[in-house]
Each structure stands twice: as C-alpha cells, then as structure tokens.
C-alpha cells in the first residue's frame, strides 16, 4: 500500500515535469539520484517558476535536512554486523520517507548479516518502481483527456499536503505549515527568484521564534 | 541540437542543484550520526524551515500554478485539497483515501465545468 501511494506521487511528478517542460532523462535521473520527492518538486517546480539556481540549491539543501535524522535512526537497523563505510553510504542513499517507514516495519524480521543487502534491494525496488512511475506520468499527460490530465497534476500537491498534516505533531509544525503556505503566494515572482527562500526560511523561522519566545498559553 | 544541450543542462542542474545539496545530509547522517542531538535548537529551527518550505511549494502549486492547473478556478483547486484533508482525517488517516477523495472532487468538478 505505501508502494502504491509512492508510485502515484511519482506519476504526478512525471506529469509536473511535462507541464513545465523539464526533459525526461534528467527527470528520471533526479528520481534515481535525488530520491526525495519534495526536493525534486522544489527543483522542477522552481525552474518552471523561474527561481534562480543558487536559491534553488539552498531550498533543496534545506528541504533535505529531514533526511539526516532518518538516516541516523535507521542506520543501526541497516548496517549489519560488519559495517563498511561505502555500504552504509549506499544504504543511506535509499533512505527517504517510504524506506524509513518500511525499514522499521520489515528490517527487525531480517537476519542481521542480510540487512544491508535487504535494505539496498528494497531501495532499488522502490527506486525502479518510482522511475517507471515518473516516465509513465510524463508520457501519460498527453494521452489523457483534460479532467484526468489536471488530476495528474494535483497528485503532487495533494499527497504533500496530506503528508504535512500527518506529520504535524506540535504547534510549531502547524504554524510552519500555515506561515509557509500564507507567505508563498505573497512573495511569488519576488525579485531575484528568492520566493521559496522567503516563504520557507522566513515562515519557518517565524514559526520557530513564535512558539519558542512568543506568548505562551497557560497550562 | 537544442534538445541535447537542453537535456544536458537539465542533467547538470539535477546533479549540482538537486543531488549534491540533498545527498550531503545522508552522508552527514552516516558520518556524524552518533553525535547529532536531534532536539537541539538548531535542529528544531531546521525542521520548522523544512516544513514551511514544503508548505510553500504546495501553496504555490495550488494557488499560483504555472501549467495546466490554471484552467481550473481557484475554488475548485482549494476545494479538492480541503476534501483530501477531510478524507484523510475521516477515513482512518489513510493517505490513499485522502488522495483519492481529492482527485474525485477535482475530476468531477473539472468535468462538470467542462474545463481542463
């Protein structure tokens, strides 16, 4: 079931690529190498909106921070009894939301020596499926009638919205979602292609400061 | 000719603007994993920024789209997203149920309006 949603979101990403005129080979490469849909959507969507390359690199970099705690938490389960650095780096590359969830579910049942291979196998399988989804979405957009073609383009924003709602636990999360979403249209087409920077860094910092130093509710 | 240079440029952008800035965190996770305090102030700020960034991306795709979604009225785009969140919350917090609810609202709306 998580695999199904995963492939669907990559079909949506393929549709988005086609929509902004991003070439297919580079798009497939982004699924293989970046392997983190938020970063890919920031990249492709940002290029489509005319965001400058340094601002995009910064936005991609900031969006990738969440991968680090995932790697830290999942690595003890993936590395096996005889750790090798290159093998850990390879396993870590496949860590993204889906492998993070599935890893905690599946890896404890795998014998320890087999875990690095199992993790990579799972990662390669998920990546391959997602690349097929990316290509499928890219070429499907042309073949679909109007209402279904726009439905394809909604897949990315709607699945991200639901994931944001699902992962929001504390006040700071909700505030960051609200501020990021509210600032984004206000700064669209801001000079220098820095709109994502203002909405993300500005909204996130404001949410952080407000929950930490702002008025506190009494318990 | 322009196709190849366009594709090549895009591949270079994927590697230098997408892959490297993103992968660096996975490498850090492997190298410094045991020394990182997940609840430090810096990590809390970074998580807030990452959340706001993702929300900003979603908001721009829905509120000020650049492609084919422009053909749909704003209320339908927002209505579909709201329906998706409602579907997710009411149907056992299932991501799939939420996505399908939003898509159903959008497709029926687009078909009914005769746009898209």
**pLDDT tens digits, residue range B75-90?**
999 999 999 999 999 9
Which of A48, A89, A199 faces B52 most closely, judged by CB atoms? A199
In a domain, B104, yes or no: yes
Considering only the beta carbons, identify the residue of A29, A68, A154 that sits closest to B103.
A154
Q: What is the pLDDT of residues B18-46, one digit of tens each?
A: 999 999 999 999 998 767 676 788 878 88
Q: B106 lies in a domain?
A: yes
Q: Do A200 and B72 touch (CB under 8 A)?
A: no
Q: Does any CB of chain B come closer than 8 Å to the CB of residue A114?
A: no
Mean pLDDT by groups of 10 residues along chain A of 219 residues:
79 91 95 93 85 89 85 86 90 89 86 93 95 95 82 87 88 93 84 76 92 68
Nearest to A51 by CA among A191, A156, A204: A191
Q: Identify whether B85 is part of a domain.
A: yes
Rounded distance, CA B108 to CA B89, Å? 21
Q: CA A140, CA B38: separation in Å to the nearest integer?
A: 41
Identity of the residue in A30, A70, A164 whose CB atom sits nearest the CB atom of B54: A164
Which residues of chain A from 180 to 209 reach within 8 Å of chain B, CB to CB? 180-185, 188, 195-196, 199-205, 207-208
pLDDT score, position A117: 94
How many contacts, defined by CB atoms under 8 Å, are there between A and B?
A: 308
Q: pLDDT tens digits for B45-56? A: 888 888 898 898
Q: What is the ipTM of this complex?
A: 0.84
Instruction: State whether A39 and B22 contact (CB < 8 Å).
Output: yes
Structural domain count, chain B = 1
The mean pLDDT of B64-77, rounded to a whole number, is 84
In a mutagenesis test of the A interface, which of B2, B15, B33, B51 is the best target, namely the one with the most A β-carbons within 10 Å?
Answer: B51
H/E run at residue A17: helix A2-20
Q: Which class for A168: exposed (0-12), middle (13-18), buried (19 or more C-beta within 10 A)?
A: middle
The pLDDT of residue B20 is 96
- The CA distance from A10 to A137, in Å, is 7
Whether B102 is covered by a domain: the verdict is yes
**CB A154, CB A122: distance < 8 Å:** no
Contact A43 B13 (CB under 8 A): yes
**pTM, two decimal places:** 0.83
Model pLDDT, residue A188: 77
- A148 contacts B107? CB cut-off 8 A: yes
Given a cut of 50, is residue B2 above it in pLDDT? no
Domains of chain A, residue spans = 1-152, 168-219
Domain membership of residue B91 as a residue range: 67-116
Q: Rounded to an integer, what distance in angstroms lies between the CA atom of residue A75 and that of residue A73?
A: 6
Is residue B96 domain-resident?
Answer: yes
Alpha-carbon gap, residue A104 to A64, rounded angstroms: 20
B94 in a domain, yes or no?
yes
Whether B57 is covered by a domain: the verdict is no
A56 CB near a chain B CB, below 8 Å? yes
pLDDT for position B113: 85
Q: Is the pLDDT of residue B4 over 60?
A: no
Partner-chain contact A154 B80, CB within 8 Å: yes
């Amino acid at each position: 079931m998580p695999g199904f949603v995963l492939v669907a979101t990559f079909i949506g990403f393929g549709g988005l690529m086609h929509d902004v005129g991003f070439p297919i080979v580079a798009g497939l490469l982004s699924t293989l190498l970046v392997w983190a849909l938020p970063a890919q959507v920031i990249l492709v969507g940002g290029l489509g909106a005319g965001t400058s390359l340094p601002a995009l690199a910064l936005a991609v970099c900031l969006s990738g921070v969440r991968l680090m705690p995932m790697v830290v938490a999942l690595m003890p389960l993936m590395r096996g009894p005889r750790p090798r650095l290159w093998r850990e780096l390879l396993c870590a590359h496949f860590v993204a939301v889906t492998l993070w969830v599935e890893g905690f579910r599946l890896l404890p049942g795998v014998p320890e020596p087999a875990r690095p291979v199992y993790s990579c196998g799972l990662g390669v399988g998920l990546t391959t499926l997602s690349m097929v989804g990316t290509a499928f979405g890219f070429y499907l957009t042309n073949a679909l009638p109007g209402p279904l073609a726009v439905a394809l383009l909604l897949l990315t924003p709607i699945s991200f919205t639901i994931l944001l709602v699902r992962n929001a636990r504390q006040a700071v999360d909700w505030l960051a979602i609200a501020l990021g979403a509210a600032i984004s249209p206000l700064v669209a087409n801001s000079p220098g292609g820095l709109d994502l920077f203002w909405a993300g860094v500005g909204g996130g910092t404001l949410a952080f400061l407000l929950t930490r130093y702002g008025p506190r509710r009494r318990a | 000719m322009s196709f190849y240079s366009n594709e090549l440029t895009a591949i270079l952008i994927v590697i230098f603007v997408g892959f490297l800035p993103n992968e660096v965190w996975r490498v850090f996770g492997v190298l410094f994993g045991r020394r990182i305090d997940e609840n430090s102030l810096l990590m809390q700020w970074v998580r807030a920024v990452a959340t706001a960034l993702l929300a900003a991306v979603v908001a721009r795709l829905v509120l000020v789209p650049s492609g084919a979604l422009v053909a749909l009225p704003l209320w339908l785009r927002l209505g579909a997203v709201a329906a998706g969140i409602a579907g997710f919350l009411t149907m056992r917090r299932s991501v799939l149920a939420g996505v399908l609810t939003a898509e159903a609202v959008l497709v029926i709306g687009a078909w009914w309006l005769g746009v898209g």
